[in-house]
Structure 1
Amino acid sequence: MTPSTYKLKHKIQGALRLGRALQLVWQSSPTWTIARILLLIVQSTLPLLSLYLMKVIVDAVSTAIAAANKQAAFQQIALLIVLTGTVNLIIALCSSIAELVNTTQAEIITDYMYGIVHAKAIEVDLEYYENSQYHDTLQRAQQEAYFRPTHILNSLLQLSENTISLVAITGLLLFFHWQVAAILFVATVPGLFVRLKYADQMYHWKRKRTATQRKAYYLDWMLTNSWHAKEIRLFNLGSLFSRRFRQLRKQLYQESLAISKRSTVTALVTQTSATIAVYGSYAIIAYQTVKGTFTLGDLIMYYQAFQRGQSALQGVLGSVAGLYEDNLFLSNVHEFLDLKPRIIEPLHPLPVPRLQHKGIQFQGVSFQYPTSDRQGLKDISLTIQPGEVVALVGENGAGKTTLIKLLCRLYDPTQGSITFEGYDLRCLATTDLRRQISVIFQDYAKYYLTAKENIWFGNIDLPPDDGLIQNAAYKAGADDVISSLPNSYETILGNWFEDGEELSIGQWQKIALARAFLRDAQILVLDEPTSALDAKAEEEVFQKFRQLIKNQAAILISHRLSTVKMADHIYLMEHGRIVENGTHEELMQLGGSYAHLFEIQAKNYR
């Protein structure tokens, strides 16, 4: 690509980004945008009328001094003063209204952009969240998305307002003295190039240092959140993390300061040159008045016109520079919004069938994580029939949870297929498929909301006060826990908010189990479902388990082999492969790895 072609492409991309930004602004608040445009027209024209009226007043005063009928002359002056005052009152009123409109629209745009970012964060696949580059992209977008569109709108409106003023004033100054207008332009333009140059440098530096900024944020988060509070104190990690945070922030500060220093020095040189040129022009205006070329009113009008012209030109150039800078950084937002889901939805999804005969089948399934060379699953083939309880056992990293992620279509297999009653999962809408699977993962979520909501989130299609919520809590053994809380099911869980009640790990797990049981799904998946429960609570859960699943298919993942004895079929996984399978009795008779692991665990209870 030639340099000229690259520059053209760069300009086209910039224009497209600008167009997308304005589209976001218009979609968020069309009425407020129209209001701002109307105010802009008024605010850019009335000051010129005020400037002209001031000239007329000064000339009228000069004439009145020598007039015979000073009373009549003053009446004319008073009328002009009232008219000028009225214009300035209208200007002040428009300014106040504009401030209200600007503030309101900025809030609306910010909230709209929050919604856009949230929607994209929900849309992208789980794969993105397991990729560090995605988190860099997300952070850059979050830093820019909520204010850059408003900045662009402000810059465009200011550019329009200053341009209208500048056109009118330039015409006036050209009529007065074309060299003065040229000086005005030459004195102001160098500052534009300085700002554009250092906007580029700051943009590229911020992209380069995104990972460093995220590390600093991570350290700050660990130092201030409740999840790490115990260990930080027990292992005396606070000073270490704080010191590392300060080191990262110092590095960022020094690099940013170096760019700012260079920008400040260069800007000072250009500003000094501009000041000399401006005051030289003032001298020309004064000299022409002393010679009698212009009246005193002309002097004041031209003097103020020159001032306003310089201010308008600086505003135009500043708005252009601001647009360039905002457009650069807005590319971070577009980079995030342009992310595409890797899980492709079918154009014509089939309805999710009822599990009756074929069940769920994994056929030669292999999977490799996109960001890793390690293969998560290798040639997995298994079948889960309706009403059947299947257990997946094996060491950490054996591929058990990965298999569940594929079943939920959080990922697609690298090879092979997964079918649901004979239909490939890729033929089903992911939302409909996931509606038929109720999962509690080992790293289940804790929602710092009411106990009722924590369970209701398992099936938000139900009314929030449905009696099935308490029934699910009873099945999971959580009803007794919740009933003992100060406000029962209306108690806020966790200690982040006022009147919140913190639970033990085992109690939180019961709440999560209740959430899974509430979902009216065909498949129930429990990933280490009782790891935080004591032996008695664990036994109570599994005594009810057969009753709970009814005609559902159930998948248990557990390290406790005592909990999987009741499974209809057990699969032992090692390094992403199934190495043994059968009932508990069959595997014990086989005398392989499963029997060996079971004997090791059983010794602890003898």
Structure 2
Amino acid sequence: MAWVVILIVQGLLPAISITLIRQVVDNLVAVSGAGISSATVGKVLTPVSLMAGVLLLTEFFSNAGEWIRTAQSELISDKITGLIHQQSVGVDYGFYEYSEYNDKLNRAREGAAGRSLGLLENMGNVVQNCVTLFAMAAVLLPYGLWLPTILIISALPFFYVLLYISKVQYKWSQKTTTDRRWLMYYDYLLTNDRTAAEVRLFDFANYFQNSYQKLRKRLRREQFNLLKLQTLGRVIATVFALTMTGTALAWMGRQVLLGILTLGDLALFFQSFNQGLNIVRDLMSNLGKIYRDSLFIGNLFEFLEIKAQITDPANPVPIPSVLQKEIRFRQVTFRYPGSHEPVMENFNLTLPAGKVVAIVGDNGAGKSTLIKLLCRFYDPDSGSIELDGIDIRQFSVKAFRRLITVLFQSHIPYYTTAAENIALGDISAPSSQAEIEAAAKASGIHEKITRLPLSYNSMLGKLFPDGHDLSGGQWQRLALARAFYRRAEIIILDEPTSAMDPWGEHDWLERFRTLARGRTSIVITHRFTLAMRADIIHVMRAGKIVESGSHDELLKLGGFYAESWQDQMQSTTIAR
């Protein structure tokens, strides 16, 4: 509301100022040669004082407008960022696995807050320009209707150029989205701590730098070509506007020479026409910017309109508090979106409640897909995944996922305190130091944390000041503690000991058996020393379960598991 008032007042002040200038000039001409007296000074001083008041008002509203624009900028930036964050975590997990989605996300994030603020400001400028233009037109109308018309016509080429260039720039931006994401990727490879070791060891720096500079050179050349086109168009539009202005000024000079108009009229005309010309150009410019920003903001709304496919049913079924019977994959067929080859076809698997189940198999067997389906990141194309006989699609998504805790193979190091790292496993419940330490002890990271300077209050990672880094195995144990802290009914661990040495693995296995007692645990692993301790082992190959049983039963079977066990044990013996 304050912004609208300021726009209207700022739109009227220029016309008032010009009118006062004419009054000053005419009064000066009237009292010229009359000497200095209270009457002559008063005749000039009155409009001058009014002009001073207008200038003070102009300065006041300019500063107030700056304050409001700053406040708007902060609010809009936070609002747009919040919308993008909300949508980013609301869309399906599968969207992140496709280039098209990442293009949409990049376009939405690219200056979204700035474009939104620019759109708002330009709309405000249009309001202010319109108010000023109508005021200037009212001042010029007594001299002829054709003068305001010339103002409009002189700015039309500039407006056309702006619209045309905006459309060309938008198309270029859309076309080069993937290229600009490549630039971000090269920059990540050259500056991120996770890639620093390999970049130095294998001397990748020049290769990635050259790739970055080569792509930048092409994009820079294309940008320069757009700039040339824009400059040429603006020069032509400016020449046209100056020609129209010169014509109007020549006519005004003729009227003064003929004595039809006064010097005050000439001063008013010059000021109003000159400012009017600038205002019309600003108006056209702002309209063009509104058009340009609306094109780019369209990317934001296109992103915000993406609908998640994994959604709650109309009437969700209550989640069972305790898993009584089993998790069952029944005739599940699944293809990743965009792929014609099924990862699983008529897949069947039963995971009994309260047992530790190991799933082993070669790379590409479908083990990770099984986790994604069980976490309901995807829904199967056909068949069902059932929890105690109920299709998991009948549950609320969030409520169902609350039953599950997962240690993913690519675990995330969170750069916070050790205590908060573990408490992130269940942010819905008040953190308990006793439970945090219990989870840390279960994962085997407690002793390492207590040796840190501030124990559980120590900052982890080197990204922020006073941080302490951990080894790969220690980060993995911390992620395990986070998974354990959730106290979920279903535990899924994907290669939970991949970063641990054999001694650490043996120690952790003993802890895990105690922690998992009474809960359903699914362990994805390549290590048979871990799998052998499971109640049931399933061997997965090419999207199917080919063998099932205990460790001893599978060895007696003499199949793929037995062969792999012998190979792994022989490799371990040779290594020793």
Number of the residue aligned with 1:473: 440
Task: Give the one of 184, 200, 214 matched to 1:247.
Answer: 214
**Distance (whole Å) between structure 1 residues aligned to residue 542 and residue 453 of structure 2:** 47
Q: Aligned letter for 2:517? A: K
**Distance (whole Å) between structure 1 residues aligned to residue 253 and residue 67 of structure 2:** 41
Per the TM alignment, residue 175 of structure 1 is displaced from its structure 2 partner at its CA by 2.2
Alignment of 1:339-378 (within 5 A): 339-378=306-345
Per the TM alignment, residue 484 of structure 1 is displaced from its structure 2 partner at its CA by 1.5
Number of the residue aligned with 1:521: 488
Task: Give the one of 154, 157, 161 matched to 1:190.
Answer: 157
**Distance (whole Å) between structure 1 residues aligned to residue 115 and residue 233 of structure 2:** 26
Q: Select between 572-581 and 369-378 the one with higher mean Cα deviation.
A: 369-378
Q: Aligned letter for 1:187? A: S
**Distance (whole Å) between structure 2 residues aligned to residue 200 and residue 111 of structure 1:** 28
Per the TM alignment, residue 431 of structure 1 is displaced from its structure 2 partner at its CA by 0.8
**Distance (whole Å) between structure 2 residues aligned to residue 342 and residue 198 of structure 1:** 38
Q: Select between 346-355 and 210-219 the one with higher mean Cα deviation.
A: 346-355
Per the TM alignment, residue 68 of structure 1 is displaced from its structure 2 partner at its CA by 7.6
Number of the residue aligned with 2:394: 427
Number of the residue aligned with 2:294: 327
Per the TM alignment, residue 172 of structure 1 is displaced from its structure 2 partner at its CA by 2.7
**Distance (whole Å) between structure 1 residues aligned to residue 379 and residue 247 of structure 2:** 72
Number of the residue aligned with 1:453: 420
Number of the residue aligned with 2:451: 484
Q: Aligned letter for 1:326? A: D
Per the TM alignment, residue 342 of structure 1 is displaced from its structure 2 partner at its CA by 1.4
Asked if the contact 1:144–1:330 (Cα under 8 Å) also holds between the matched residues in 2, the reply is no
Task: Give the one of 249, 256, 259 matched to 1:289.
Answer: 256
Per the TM alignment, residue 276 of structure 1 is displaced from its structure 2 partner at its CA by 2.3
Number of the residue aligned with 2:107: 140
Number of the residue aligned with 1:150: 117
Asked if the contact 1:61–1:77 (Cα under 8 Å) also holds between the matched residues in 2, the reply is yes
Task: Give the one of 272, 278, 281 matched to 1:314.
Answer: 281
**Distance (whole Å) between structure 1 residues aligned to residue 404 and residue 193 of structure 2:** 31
**Distance (whole Å) between structure 2 residues aligned to residue 69 and residue 92 of structure 1:** 32
SS in 1 for 2:467: coil
Number of the residue aligned with 1:210: 177
Per the TM alignment, residue 66 of structure 1 is displaced from its structure 2 partner at its CA by 5.2
Q: Which runs of 5+ in 1 are unaligned?
A: 1-33
Per the TM alignment, residue 195 of structure 1 is displaced from its structure 2 partner at its CA by 1.0
Asked if the contact 2:126–2:283 (Cα under 8 Å) also holds between the matched residues in 1, the reply is yes
**Distance (whole Å) between structure 1 residues aligned to residue 34 and residue 2 of structure 2:** 47
Number of the residue aligned with 1:583: 550
Asked if the contact 2:450–2:456 (Cα under 8 Å) also holds between the matched residues in 1, the reply is yes
Per-residue CA shift, 1:487-540, capped at 9, x if unaligned?
211111111111111111001001001001101210011100011111111111
**Distance (whole Å) between structure 2 residues aligned to residue 399 and residue 428 of structure 1:** 25
Asked if the contact 1:355–1:420 (Cα under 8 Å) also holds between the matched residues in 2, the reply is no
**Distance (whole Å) between structure 2 residues aligned to residue 605 and residue 329 of structure 1:** 58
1:38 paired to 2:5: yes
1:220 paired to 2:193: no
**Distance (whole Å) between structure 2 residues aligned to residue 357 and residue 123 of structure 1:** 31
Inter-CA distance 55–569: structure 2 relative to 1 (3 Å threshold): same
Number of the residue aligned with 1:263: 230
Task: Give the one of 124, 129, 137 matched to 1:162.
Answer: 129
**Distance (whole Å) between structure 1 residues aligned to residue 221 and residue 434 of structure 2:** 60
Number of the residue aligned with 1:3: none
Asked if the contact 2:443–2:512 (Cα under 8 Å) also holds between the matched residues in 1, the reply is no
Number of the residue aligned with 2:506: 539
SS in 1 for 2:357: strand
**Distance (whole Å) between structure 2 residues aligned to residue 172 and residue 83 of structure 1:** 18
**Distance (whole Å) between structure 2 residues aligned to residue 443 and residue 337 of structure 1:** 28
**Distance (whole Å) between structure 2 residues aligned to residue 570 and residue 520 of structure 1:** 23
Asked if the contact 1:377–1:577 (Cα under 8 Å) also holds between the matched residues in 2, the reply is yes
Number of the residue aligned with 1:20: none
Task: Give the one of 69, 78, 91 matched to 1:111.
Answer: 78
Per-residue CA shift, 1:401-450, capped at 9, x if unaligned?
11111111111011110111222111111111111101001101111111
Task: Give the one of 171, 174, 177 matched to 2:138.
Answer: 171
- The CA RMSD over aligned residues, in Å, is 1.4
Number of the residue aligned with 2:90: 123
Q: Select between 173-182 and 520-529 the one with higher mean Cα deviation.
A: 173-182
Q: Aligned letter for 1:594? A: Y
Per the TM alignment, residue 347 of structure 1 is displaced from its structure 2 partner at its CA by 1.8
Per the TM alignment, residue 381 of structure 1 is displaced from its structure 2 partner at its CA by 1.3
1:496 paired to 2:441: no
Asked if the contact 1:494–1:501 (Cα under 8 Å) also holds between the matched residues in 2, the reply is yes
**Distance (whole Å) between structure 2 residues aligned to residue 346 and residue 417 of structure 1:** 15
Number of the residue aligned with 2:411: 444
SS in 2 for 1:256: helix
Asked if the contact 2:491–2:519 (Cα under 8 Å) also holds between the matched residues in 1, the reply is yes
Q: Aligned letter for 1:106? A: S
SS in 2 for 1:228: helix
Asked if the contact 1:355–1:386 (Cα under 8 Å) also holds between the matched residues in 2, the reply is no
Q: Select between 60-69 and 588-597 the one with higher mean Cα deviation.
A: 60-69
**Distance (whole Å) between structure 2 residues aligned to residue 221 and residue 514 of structure 1:** 29
Q: Aligned letter for 1:564? A: A
Number of the residue aligned with 1:15: none
Q: Aligned letter for 1:546? A: R
Per the TM alignment, residue 356 of structure 1 is displaced from its structure 2 partner at its CA by 4.4
**Distance (whole Å) between structure 2 residues aligned to residue 295 and residue 567 of structure 1:** 103
Per-residue CA shift, 1:93-133, capped at 9, x if unaligned?
00011011101211110111111100000101110000111
**Distance (whole Å) between structure 2 residues aligned to residue 48 and residue 171 of structure 1:** 9
Per the TM alignment, residue 241 of structure 1 is displaced from its structure 2 partner at its CA by 0.3
**Distance (whole Å) between structure 2 residues aligned to residue 492 and residue 199 of structure 1:** 48
Per the TM alignment, residue 58 of structure 1 is displaced from its structure 2 partner at its CA by 1.5
Q: Aligned letter for 1:178? A: L
Per-residue CA shift, 1:185-231, capped at 9, x if unaligned?
22211111111111111111111111111111100110001011000
Query: What percentage of aligned pairs have identical amino acids?
Result: 37
Q: Aligned letter for 2:493? A: L
Number of the residue aligned with 1:411: 378
Number of the residue aligned with 1:8: none
Q: Given the two structures, how large is their TM-score scaled by the length of structure 1?
A: 0.92
Q: Aligned letter for 1:42? A: V
Per the TM alignment, residue 278 of structure 1 is displaced from its structure 2 partner at its CA by 1.1
SS in 2 for 1:332: helix
Per the TM alignment, residue 360 of structure 1 is displaced from its structure 2 partner at its CA by 1.1
SS in 2 for 1:458: helix
SS in 2 for 1:375: coil
SS in 2 for 1:364: strand
Inter-CA distance 317–388: structure 2 relative to 1 (3 Å threshold): same
Asked if the contact 1:64–1:70 (Cα under 8 Å) also holds between the matched residues in 2, the reply is no
Q: Aligned letter for 2:466? A: D
Matched residues, number: 573
1:84 paired to 2:55: no
Q: Select between 463-472 and 422-431 the one with higher mean Cα deviation.
A: 463-472
Number of the residue aligned with 2:239: 272
Q: Select between 182-191 and 535-544 the one with higher mean Cα deviation.
A: 182-191
Q: Aligned letter for 1:363? A: R
1:556 paired to 2:509: no
Asked if the contact 2:323–2:489 (Cα under 8 Å) also holds between the matched residues in 1, the reply is no
Asked if the contact 2:349–2:545 (Cα under 8 Å) also holds between the matched residues in 1, the reply is no
Task: Give the one of 52, 64, 70 matched to 1:97.
Answer: 64
Number of the residue aligned with 2:560: 593
Q: Select between 124-133 and 293-302 the one with higher mean Cα deviation.
A: 293-302
